[in-house]
Amino acid sequence: MTPHEDGAAPRPTLAQVAARAGVSLKTASRALGGESYVSEKTLTSVLAAAAELDYQRNAAASLLASGRLADSLGLITGDFTNPFYSALAQAVEDEIRPRGMHLSVANSRESAEQEKRVAHDLADRQTKAVITVSAMTDHADYATLQARGIPVVFVDRPAENLAADSVVFDNREGGRLVAQHLIDRGHRRIALIGDYAWLPTYRARLAGMGDVLDGSPVAWRELLRTDAHDVASSRECVRELLALDEPPTAIVAGNNRVLLGVMEEIATTDAPPAVIGFDDPEWATVLGISVVTGDVEELGRSAARLALARLGDRTREPESVVVPMRLIERTSTRSQ
């Protein structure tokens, strides 16, 4: 390429990517835009050409030139109603703001299709990097963003079928902590009300509880309830469990929204079960609820640091950071 007068090489163009891949300009644009009807062979060729040329799509160049769009990092969350995500966003912003970047936050509403649209929209708006709490079960589509020079970091939920940086809690150990705590306090009928069954956080926590409880005299698998993603569905699960001939003596809430539903439903119960939750919302301290939690600030800051490091060195090997979880015992779990 011919250098500019200031010595900098001109940015590679989409036309150059198309020429190197041996496809039309329109096809190259469709491939890099993540459109689903591009063939796998064509997509592979275009992504390879984009990577070789260090191409980054420049759909927002006019906005940048006008000064209306500063360097930004995008964060895709699952549900704006969950306070976990506001804490995560605050942590990411605290890490990147001193570096002159601002944060753009979008909501997938736990929809894989919406997440895909949002991710490509952020990329087209010249977002420097994307951090995602992904609702997808296969993340190969994010290779299109990586090929455009946009780092992708997975937070809270790890990458699947994609080489990418990730930061997650040690959820399996969290499940072990919950189970052992309840066993030590004499509980032998333990219910888990879990989030969506497909979530890797839920599966890891379930596996950790199984490490401790399977093979023990504790009844728990038959008391397992899943797909309680909001307060209403959590309350419904609690009603069902407490109506059993032998109700659980302890309930484990799979996240803070589930925990809120549990506490609302048992509020007027004469002999409420013990309760322990994952995550630690502020009101859990006020109500004396035992929890297993991790440092959300560290989760968010670590994700931001990985994104910034990837911007500085795109040849780094993908890094997986695991943030530990800890038990905070309060009055809601009691000896039997």
Q: What digits encode the pLDDT tens for the residues 50-108?
A: 878 877 655 444 443 444 445 899 999 988 888 899 999 999 999 999 988 999 999 99
What is the pLDDT of the chain when averaged over all its residues?
89
246 within some domain: yes
Is residue 229 domain-shared with residue 243, that is, in the same domain?
yes
Residues 180, 234: one domain? yes
Does some domain include residue 8? Answer: no
At residue 26, does pLDDT exceed 90?
no
Judged against a pLDDT cut of 80, whether residue 2 lies above it is answered with no
Please tell me whether residues 85 and 164 are part of one structural domain. Answer: yes
* pLDDT score of 36 more than 70: no
Check whether residue 182 and residue 283 sit in a common domain: yes
Percent of the chain with pLDDT over 90: 71
Q: Does one domain contain both 176 and 234? A: yes
Structure tokens at 69: 């769009």
User: For residue range 217-259, what is the model confidence (pLDDT) as tens digits?
Assistant: 999 999 999 999 899 999 999 999 999 999 999 999 999 999 9
d(CA 212, CA 191): 14
- Do 134 and 199 have their domain in common? no
Report yes or no on 6 lying in a domain. Answer: no
Q: Pick the more confident residue, 96 or 314.
A: 96
CA distance 64 to 45: 29
Which residue would you say has higher pLDDT here, 172 or 48?
172
At 34 the pLDDT is 62
Read off the CATH number of the domain in which 202 is found: 3.40.50.2300
Q: What is the pLDDT of residues 184-211, one digit of tens each?
A: 999 999 999 999 999 999 999 999 999 9
Secondary structure element (H or E) that encloses residue 32, with its range: helix 25-32
Global pTM value:
0.79
Taking each helix axis from N to C end, the angle separating 200-213 and 171-184, rounded to the nearest 10 degrees, works out to: 40
Q: Is 331 within 8 Å of 271 (Cβ atoms)?
A: no
HSE, side-chain direction, 13 A CA sphere, residue 272: 19
CA atoms within 13 A on the CB side of 189: 11
**Binning pLDDT at 50, 70 and 90, where does residue 287 land?**
very high
Give the pLDDT confidence score for residue 33 in this predicted structure: 66
* Domain membership flag for residue 159: yes
Question: 249 with 190, same domain?
Answer: yes
Instruction: Examine residue 331 and state whether it is found in any structural domain, yes or no.
Output: no
- Any domain includes 2: no
Average pLDDT of 123-127?
Answer: 87
Q: Which residue has the higher pLDDT, 47 or 218?
A: 218
Judge contact between 162 and 143, C-beta under 8 A.
Answer: yes
Residues 162 and 301 placed together within one structural domain of the fold:
yes
In the chain, the number of structural domains is 3
Are 261 and 316 in a shared domain?
no
42 & 128 share domain: no
How far is it, in rounded angstroms, from Cα 334 to Cα 331?
7
In a domain, 269, yes or no: yes
Residue in the structure block whose two tokens are 């997938």 = 108
Does residue 39 share a domain with residue 83?
A: no
Identify whether residues 205 and 216 lie together within a single domain: yes
145 domain-assigned: yes
Cβ-based burial of 31 (10 A; exposed 0-12, middle 13-18, buried ≥19) = buried
163 burial type by CB count under 10 A (0-12 exposed, 13-18 middle, 19+ buried):
exposed
Range of the domain at 309: 67-168+296-324
